[in-house]
Chain A
Amino acid sequence: MKFTLSWLKDHLETEASVDEIVETLIRIGLEVDTVDDPGAKLAAFTVAHVVAAEKHPDADRLQVCTVDTGDGQVQVVCGAPNARTGMKGVFAPSGTYVPGIELMLKKTKIRGVESNGMLVSERETGLSDEHEGIIELPEDAPLGAPIAGVLGIDDPVIDIELTPNRPDCTGVRGIARDLAAAGLGMLKPFDSAAPVEGTYDSPVAWAIADDDNACSYVVGRHFRSVTNGPSPKWVQDRLRAIGLRPISALVDVTNYVSIDLGRPLHVFDAAKIGDTLTMRRARDGEDFTALVEREYTLDGEMTIIGDGATAEAVAGVMGGLDSSCTEDTTDVFLEVALFDPISVATTGRKLQIESDARYRFERGVDPESADWGADVAARMILELCGGETSKPVTAGAMPDWRRSVELSTDRVATLGGVEVAVDRQIAILDGLGFETTQVGEAITAAVPPWRPDVHGEPDLVEEITRIHGFDEVAPVSLDRGAALPPQAITPSQRRTSLVRRVLAAQGLDEAVTWSFMGRAHAELFGDVDALMLANPISSELDAMRPSILGNLLLGAGRNADRGFADVGLFELGPAYRDASPDGQLLVAAGIRHGNAVPAHWSGKARAADALDAKADALAALEAGGAPVANLQIDRDTPAWYHPGRSGGLRLGKNVLAWFGEIHPGVLRRLDVRGPAVGFEVFLDVLPDRKEKSAARPPLHLLALQPVRRDFAFMVDADVEAGAVLRAARGAEKELVSSVDLFDVYEGKNIEDGKKSLAIQVTLQPVEATLTDEEIDAVAKKIVAAVEKATGGTLRG
């Protein structure tokens, strides 16, 4: 919503400066987007008289001008072809900044002739691109006067970002009312709304079809013998200043009233319409040619103004080309209607038409303006275009807008947090146009018709506090009610945070990637039929991700393309099974791509492998409180993992994690050069930690030294190391405190189809030092247990 300072002053009696006005607008909730004061930059530019213009002695195209600035005469060298003796122009003295060419003027010599200042073109002032010659001012322009006033650009333009709840401020008068209530001046009387008597009966009538259309009430007036043409300069200047193009007096009147009072209007050329205009629903597929010379196809949800079978306007959005007013128009029919805001908004959106009328109707115009708007417009049309006007014609009925809201006098204090004296509360409401009555502890406020946004007590509290000033509300720090705060996060939130930090400590960098991905990629990780976006921004982001791994792998691919192939990434966030709240899983997932150990002088580089992913998964699980030592490992992993190089970690029937190499086929589909490994840990299914007490179980430090014995077993190549470890561990539970695998060997000196597994067993005596016989007995048990479990034999 744009307006100029002088326009505001039509409605507001004020001495306030632009800065004060802007500051107040912001303070009362009318957010100022920009303040544009084109004349401000030209403060030093004045009207000057060229006393003499003579050819430069040394240059054909230059002239030496003697310029009377009103403050004495100066010599200026000028290259403009139109500089001539006797003209009036715009002078910028030395020391002036010339905005159009971004130059600070200095006293200088041009081809040996002194030049003080400049006679400027429009381009040099920054007002336009015109650079054919210097600006020529009328002969009566006052010598020495600042040019902003002479050129009519001394009127600052203020642009407000209007919130949708304030239809009243779509008119300059509404803004003036708010400013006046805030103490910045007096709202002037609304004289232009006085009734205008009609002299004849309108030959055109209104009808509202009984089809549940958007129009509740419409007023019309007929005008005859008008003269349309350019509107007067003051109207044109104002419209231009706020970015509207003057068209003709009749059209300019509708635009002017719309901006001035927030009351949209439309004028039909009465010669181009029949004797009845009907508010009705459009027919599905009905064609409409708008003022802007574009064709639209309408549907049955939209309301139009019909002349017989023809749509002459889309209600509240835009008029039609065929019945529009032109320079030749002599008879006019004025439409002043009330339309349902939602219907106008919906129609405008569907047709993708942004118009000043829609802007106002979709916020909700003042119902009373249907009546007074017709008078305001009639007065202005008669003034600008002559002719005479008919008596008003109407259809429908003005909706009953009258309602009152009760405000308890202490509510501003208890909700707004600021004590405002009751008479001040009442004065503010009165200033905003409410009609108030006080009975005891309550103020009854009759809501003015231009404030459809006010319905309840909090609305009145807002009106009073914003005008009184939010700055007057004293900040009060929250009292947490106890010396120490409660725990801010739940145990599971704390677990999540710990898992995140532990994964970062494993050398993985945390990424945050989209919750969506492209369907073609998403389907590599699960079924996404129930996870498709209806309106994605692109096909690369059209499905909710069933796994985090895809986006991380794509991220690794991008890093590799940039020359950084060795990356470890993790993300802790959602993956989706379906669209229900329970279908959202909290997953910690990570990938390693390229080398897990980089090339270094101390040793060879090592590519990340499935067991790096296993270590990451176990670190996350341990941080998450899972009983890592008791997990079952299986090979039952989903299709995006390498079938032979991946595993699952289970606790009972719950899968807690998967890890392993990513399936090469998946990498190929993602266009990521492999290999890569990854893991997924499902945080929702981790068992809740049962921490009844912070105390740990007692620690028994045994005085007796542990004994270590090494064993190497020859087993079939397909025997899992875990089976050997498990058997050794179980052979003598009382004594075996740990079993560590320290060598896996296949090849030379080992029979084909076999491998050697070497383990170190630690025996922890509890009561007495072990004798050699006891140690040998345990060793035999271990060998027997491994043999029984795996068929392995002790290597000689």
Chain B
Amino acid sequence: MTAPDVSELQDSLLAEVAAADSIDVLEAVRVSALGKKGRITEQMKGLGQLDGDARKEAGQALNRVKDAVADAIAARQADLESSALEARLAHETVDVTLTPRPRAGGHLHPVSQVTEECIAIFGEMGFTVAEGPDIEDDFHNFTALNIPPEHPARQMHDTFYLEAADGEPQPVLRTHTSPVQIRTMETSKPPIRVIAPGRTYRSDSDATHTPMFHQIEALVVDETTHMGHLKGCIIDFCRAFFDIPDLPVRFRPSHFPFTEPSMEVDIGCSREGGELRIGNFGEGADNWLEIMGSGMVHPKVLEYGGIDSSKYQGFAFGMGIDRIAMLKYGIPDLRTFFDADIRWLKHYGFVPLAVPSMVRGM
């Protein structure tokens, strides 16, 4: 018996594989070729009747056919599966214009964000944050800040007082964050470099004043700090906060009981077209906006804080957080800050992950 001609068998089986148009048909082809009673299997069984070299040769030939058919089946199977998947996916659609399920996302109030912006900037300059109570005593809010009893600021029309039992001193709602200066001096030794943000209160309510507002205070006390440092610190802050490297900053002599010398600080702005914008509008653009009061700490204030004014000196300044928030973020009306209007909070608020930082920008 001679070795069978396997090329016909291979052609025939490969044609059947190619013609298989479903996984089931392909499986039938596989069984008919490679199954226990398959055509290749049957031929393999017949090899025993051949002898010597012929058996070896025929065996090798059959194995090649077997491999070729098996490969063809695998390839055809992959094709058919892929077509089947495509056909299925063609029916699977989602309306991509549907609104996704809502996820919660709240906002930070501008006062919080701007407070943290201030902390980020002053923090870079070596300041730490100090705090004090909203309900103050007369000493910390007035006396220790060199504000005498007859000063108009102490009058009922400017300052909120709490009711007190007869003979007891009336507590006051702090009218500025400056009492934190005194509390800091009472509890720490120079060098001092602190900022104090917080709620403040004045008996005032109109278009541009609210009975509660926020201030941030800075205090530096050491042996050498002078007005040049005061100017440098404030200029550095203003330019960083408003992110305007050439923002003009002007210092005007003024008067506050707790500082000497005292100065008010203006920054450059434009009021063109009735719109207030902060910035540098060029030489001769003589438009200024007052943003804070400042000065060298009055020796009496140092002494009230328990610090030797013959040895130590320093500066202090304070500004409105709400006000600089309005200026930076274009918020038109102070009164809206405290209304809890959800539309306002979402519009002017900040996403909670946006943590202010000097190195990453803010």
On A, residues with C-beta under 8 Å from B are 26-29, 31, 163-166, 342, 345-346, 349, 413-418, 453, 456, 458-459, 461-462, 465-466, 470-471, 473-478, 480-482, 485-490, 493, 497, 500-516, 530-537, 541, 544, 551-552, 555-556, 558-559, 562, 564, 567-570, 572-574, 576, 579-581, 583-584, 597-598, 600-603
When the two chains form their complex, are residues B232 and A475 in contact, meaning their CB atoms are under 8 A apart? yes
Partner of A478, one of B135, B229, B296, B351: B229
Partner of B227, one of A473, A511, A541, A558: A473
For the complex, what is the distance from the CA of A544 to the CA of B299, rounded to whole Å? 34
List residues of chain A with CB within 8 A of the CB of B120. Answer: 488
Q: Is B48 on the interface with A (CB-CB < 8 A)?
A: no
List residues of chain B with CB within 8 A of the CB of A414. Answer: 224, 226
When the two chains form their complex, are residues A573 and B126 in contact, meaning their CB atoms are under 8 A apart? no
For the complex, what is the distance from the CA of A748 to the CA of B67, rounded to whole Å? 64
Nearest CB on A from B44, distance (A):
45
Nearest CB on B from A165, distance (A):
4
Partner of B101, one of A462, A511, A600: A600
List residues of chain B with CB within 8 A of the CB of A512. Answer: 109, 111-112, 337-338, 340
List residues of chain A with CB within 8 A of the CB of B128. Answer: 486-490
For the complex, what is the distance from the CA of A574 to the CA of B198, rounded to whole Å? 10
When the two chains form their complex, are residues A458 and B298 in contact, meaning their CB atoms are under 8 A apart? yes
Which residue of chain B has its CB nearest to the CB of A340?
B150
Q: Is B68 on the interface with A (CB-CB < 8 A)?
A: no
For the complex, what is the distance from the CA of A470 to the CA of B236, rounded to whole Å? 17
Interface size for B (C-beta < 8 A) is 88
List residues of chain A with CB within 8 A of the CB of B261. Answer: 416, 458, 461-462, 465-466
When the two chains form their complex, are residues B163 and A534 in contact, meaning their CB atoms are under 8 A apart? yes
Q: What 17 additional pairs, Cβ within 8 angstroms, besides A458-B261, A459-B260, A470-B253? A: A164-B255, A415-B313, A456-B299, A476-B226, A485-B124, A501-B108, A504-B107, A505-B352, A507-B103, A512-B337, A514-B212, A514-B338, A535-B160, A541-B211, A555-B339, A584-B133, A584-B135
For the complex, what is the distance from the CA of A475 to the CA of B265, rounded to whole Å? 13
For the complex, what is the distance from the CA of A503 to the CA of B298, rounded to whole Å? 42
Contact A490 B129, CB 8 Å, known A501-B352, A504-B108, A510-B112: yes
When the two chains form their complex, are residues A466 and B253 in contact, meaning their CB atoms are under 8 A apart? yes
When the two chains form their complex, are residues A534 and B199 in contact, meaning their CB atoms are under 8 A apart? no
Which residue of chain A has its CB nearest to the CB of B151?
A164
Nearest CB on A from B18, distance (A):
46
Among A164, A501, A584, residue most surrounded by chain B Cβ atoms (within 10 Å): A501
When the two chains form their complex, are residues A562 and B341 in contact, meaning their CB atoms are under 8 A apart? yes
For the complex, what is the distance from the CA of A598 to the CA of B99, rounded to whole Å? 12
When the two chains form their complex, are residues A485 and B342 in contact, meaning their CB atoms are under 8 A apart? no
When the two chains form their complex, are residues B106 and A601 in contact, meaning their CB atoms are under 8 A apart? no
- Between A and B, 22 residue pairs with Cβ closer than 8 Å are A27-B253, A415-B313, A418-B227, A458-B260, A476-B228, A476-B231, A478-B229, A488-B128, A490-B129, A493-B129, A502-B352, A503-B106, A504-B106, A506-B106, A509-B346, A515-B199, A532-B162, A541-B211, A551-B340, A552-B340, A555-B340, A601-B99
For the complex, what is the distance from the CA of A601 to the CA of B102, rounded to whole Å? 11
Q: Is B1 on the interface with A (CB-CB < 8 A)?
A: no
Contact A417 B199, CB 8 Å, known A478-B126, A486-B128: no
List residues of chain B with CB within 8 A of the CB of A459. Answer: 260
Nearest CB on A from B355, distance (A):
7
When the two chains form their complex, are residues A507 and B105 in contact, meaning their CB atoms are under 8 A apart? yes
List residues of chain A with CB within 8 A of the CB of B108. Answer: 500-501, 504, 510
When the two chains form their complex, are residues A462 and B253 in contact, meaning their CB atoms are under 8 A apart? yes
When the two chains form their complex, are residues B229 and A537 in contact, meaning their CB atoms are under 8 A apart? no
Total residue contacts A-B, CB cutoff 8 A = 261
Which B162-191 residues have a C-beta within 8 angstroms of A?
Answer: 162-164, 170-171, 173
When the two chains form their complex, are residues B227 and A513 in contact, meaning their CB atoms are under 8 A apart? no
For the complex, what is the distance from the CA of A503 to the CA of B352, rounded to whole Å? 9
Q: Is B16 on the interface with A (CB-CB < 8 A)?
A: no
Contact A470 B205, CB 8 Å, known A486-B126, A512-B109: no
Which residue of chain B has its CB nearest to the CB of A26?
B252
Q: Is B161 on the interface with A (CB-CB < 8 A)?
A: yes
List residues of chain A with CB within 8 A of the CB of B252. Answer: 26-27, 29, 31, 470
When the two chains form their complex, are residues B227 and A465 in contact, meaning their CB atoms are under 8 A apart? yes
When the two chains form their complex, are residues A511 and B162 in contact, meaning their CB atoms are under 8 A apart? no
Q: Is B27 on the interface with A (CB-CB < 8 A)?
A: no
When the two chains form their complex, are residues B161 and A513 in contact, meaning their CB atoms are under 8 A apart? no
When the two chains form their complex, are residues A515 and B201 in contact, meaning their CB atoms are under 8 A apart? yes
For the complex, what is the distance from the CA of A567 to the CA of B99, rounded to whole Å? 20
Among A473, A486, A569, A579, residue most surrounded by chain B Cβ atoms (within 10 Å): A579
When the two chains form their complex, are residues B353 and A501 in contact, meaning their CB atoms are under 8 A apart? yes
For the complex, what is the distance from the CA of A386 to the CA of B124, rounded to whole Å? 72
For the complex, what is the distance from the CA of A294 to the CA of B86, rounded to whole Å? 98
- Top 10 closest pairs, chain A to chain B, by CB: A507-B104, A29-B253, A555-B340, A488-B123, A417-B228, A480-B126, A462-B261, A163-B255, A417-B226, A504-B352
Q: Is B156 on the interface with A (CB-CB < 8 A)?
A: yes
For the complex, what is the distance from the CA of A716 to the CA of B27, rounded to whole Å? 60
List residues of chain B with CB within 8 A of the CB of A486. Answer: 126, 128
When the two chains form their complex, are residues B253 and A559 in contact, meaning their CB atoms are under 8 A apart? no
Nearest CB on B from A21, distance (A):
14
When the two chains form their complex, are residues B253 and A584 in contact, meaning their CB atoms are under 8 A apart? no
Q: Is B235 on the interface with A (CB-CB < 8 A)?
A: yes
When the two chains form their complex, are residues A533 and B124 in contact, meaning their CB atoms are under 8 A apart? no
Nearest CB on B from A610, distance (A):
18
Partner of B254, one of A31, A476, A485, A532: A31
Partner of B296, one of A415, A475, A502, A602: A415
When the two chains form their complex, are residues B226 and A415 in contact, meaning their CB atoms are under 8 A apart? yes
Contact bitstring B27-46, A, C-beta under 8 A = 1, else 0: 00000000000000000000
List residues of chain B with CB within 8 A of the CB of A487. Answer: 123, 128
List residues of chain A with CB within 8 A of the CB of B133. Answer: 581, 584
List residues of chain B with CB within 8 A of the CB of A507. Answer: 103-106
List residues of chain A with CB within 8 A of the CB of B124. Answer: 480, 485
Nearest CB on B from A597, distance (A):
8
When the two chains form their complex, are residues B102 and A600 in contact, meaning their CB atoms are under 8 A apart? yes
Contact A513 B262, CB 8 Å, known A163-B254, A164-B255, A486-B126: no
When the two chains form their complex, are residues A481 and B126 in contact, meaning their CB atoms are under 8 A apart? yes
Q: Is B89 on the interface with A (CB-CB < 8 A)?
A: no
List residues of chain A with CB within 8 A of the CB of B342. Answer: 509, 559, 564, 567, 569
Which residue of chain A has its CB nearest to the CB of B350?
A504
When the two chains form their complex, are residues A601 and B98 in contact, meaning their CB atoms are under 8 A apart? yes
When the two chains form their complex, are residues A558 and B339 in contact, meaning their CB atoms are under 8 A apart? yes
For the complex, what is the distance from the CA of A113 to the CA of B351, rounded to whole Å? 69
List residues of chain A with CB within 8 A of the CB of B161. Answer: 533-535
Q: Is B65 on the interface with A (CB-CB < 8 A)?
A: no
Which B319-362 residues have a C-beta within 8 angstroms of A?
Answer: 337-343, 345-346, 349, 351-353, 355
List residues of chain A with CB within 8 A of the CB of B156. Answer: 534-535
When the two chains form their complex, are residues B119 and A470 in contact, meaning their CB atoms are under 8 A apart? no
When the two chains form their complex, are residues A573 and B199 in contact, meaning their CB atoms are under 8 A apart? yes
List residues of chain B with CB within 8 A of the CB of A504. Answer: 106-108, 349, 351-352
List residues of chain A with CB within 8 A of the CB of B109. Answer: 510-512
List residues of chain A with CB within 8 A of the CB of B337. Answer: 512
Which residue of chain A has its CB nearest to the CB of B226?
A417
For the complex, what is the distance from the CA of A418 to the CA of B98, rounded to whole Å? 68
Which residue of chain B has its CB nearest to the CB of A414?
B226
List residues of chain A with CB within 8 A of the CB of B104. Answer: 505-507, 568
When the two chains form their complex, are residues A513 and B338 in contact, meaning their CB atoms are under 8 A apart? yes
When the two chains form their complex, are residues B126 and A475 in contact, meaning their CB atoms are under 8 A apart? no
For the complex, what is the distance from the CA of A477 to the CA of B239, rounded to whole Å? 12
Q: Is B304 on the interface with A (CB-CB < 8 A)?
A: no
When the two chains form their complex, are residues B338 and A471 in contact, meaning their CB atoms are under 8 A apart? no
Nearest CB on A from B319, distance (A):
17
Nearest CB on B from A646, distance (A):
22
List residues of chain B with CB within 8 A of the CB of A349. Answer: 152, 155
Nearest CB on B from A516, distance (A):
8
List residues of chain B with CB within 8 A of the CB of A514. Answer: 211-212, 338
When the two chains form their complex, are residues B126 and A485 in contact, meaning their CB atoms are under 8 A apart? yes
Nearest CB on B from A526, distance (A):
15
For the complex, what is the distance from the CA of A485 to the CA of B127, rounded to whole Å? 8
